Amino acid sequence: MEWLCIIETLFFGYIIVQFLRLVFSDCDLQLQWAEKLGKSTKVLSRKVVWITGASSGIGEHLSYELAKSGCRLVLSARREDELQRVKKQCLTYGNLVDSDIFVLTLDLLKFDKHRPAVDEVISRFKKIDILVNNAGRSQRAEWEKTSLKVDRDMLELNVLSVLSLTKLVLPNMIDRKEGHIVNMSSVAGKMGLPGAGSYIGSKHAIQGWFDCLRIEMFSKNVYVTNICPGPVFSNLLQDCFTDKPGQTVGASMKTGANRMSTDRCARLCTVAIANKMDEVWISKRHFLFLTYVNQYMPMLYKWIANRMGIKGFSKLKEGKL
């Protein structure tokens, strides 16, 4: 029976190692392996990558990481001056020249502009290798107080505009039998959290819609990656929806809060893209732990969530835990 003891020792040793990896990590275990042992982000060199919401936050820093990897970029957002600032910074990385980066101003809520935008990108670069659906807004409000108009606005921007642009980009990828759709989801898209129902519902929708697309596109060599960050230091609260139409939180995140840095998040996103991973979780340990619990022990997560309540989750989202 000595061999049984050896197997038990190895098994429990494996569990302990995995637990320690999780405790000291800022991403899920598969992404952690990919960062250390997976494909280099240099495999993305000369790929044409279209990033929406590229003027700030994760989109801005992801643009920098992809520029370092040698990608040709299409930068989209509503503010052209900010996009030009991002382009100028991107040109300081790698061997990119001015013609490698195309600034394309686009308001995603103007659905009639999606087709001309896609045509313009394809006319310029002849293809779209990777579409990064990053643009979107968050929300802070209690469920029962939130206006239905806010729910609609959130779905229009965070879900329907993403579906619209993706549906227009896909034919080019399918014809070439090569492509990659990347969605900036959230760990909030993996579980229920209080105080942001409209936003969390929109991210659950993204997860469901694109999990379906991933299966349909498998035989057509088009990949789908859902990236799920936790709290990241950015300007997200500036334009964050509340419970009332047209109202925003208009606040800034406090320096020193327990949030992941934007550049670190962008670095991990780039690793996930280079390795064509289906889904990744990027967060510091508190939200990362809850995501794992919800995925593998949903009843335990519900028990924890009910006892944390609104106040507990508010502190967690604000980086106070």
3-state secondary structure the chain: CHHHHHHHHHHHHHHHHHHHHHHCCCECHHHHHHHHHCCCHHHHCCCEEEEECCCCHHHHHHHHHHHHCCCEEEEEECCHHHHHHHHHHHCCCCCCCHHHEEEEECCCCCHHHHHHHHHHHHHHHCCCCEEEECCCCCECECHHHCCHHHHHHHHHHHHHHHHHHHHHHHHHHHHHCCEEEEEECCHHHHCCCCCEHHHHHHHHHHHHHHHHHHHHHHHHCEEEEEEEECCECCCCCCCCECCCCCCECCCCCCCCCCCECHHHHHHHHHHHHHCCCCEEEECCHHHHHHHHHHHHCHHHHHHHHHHHHHHHHHHHHCCCC
Q: How far apart are CA 139 and CA 195, in angstroms?
A: 8
* Active-site residue list: 199
Q: Which of 67, 42, 60, 58 is nearest to 282 (CA)?
A: 58
Q: How far apart are CA 142 and CA 162, in angstroms?
A: 25
Contacting residues for 299 by C-beta, under 8 A, at least 6 apart: none
Q: How far apart are CA 224 and CA 277, in angstroms?
A: 8
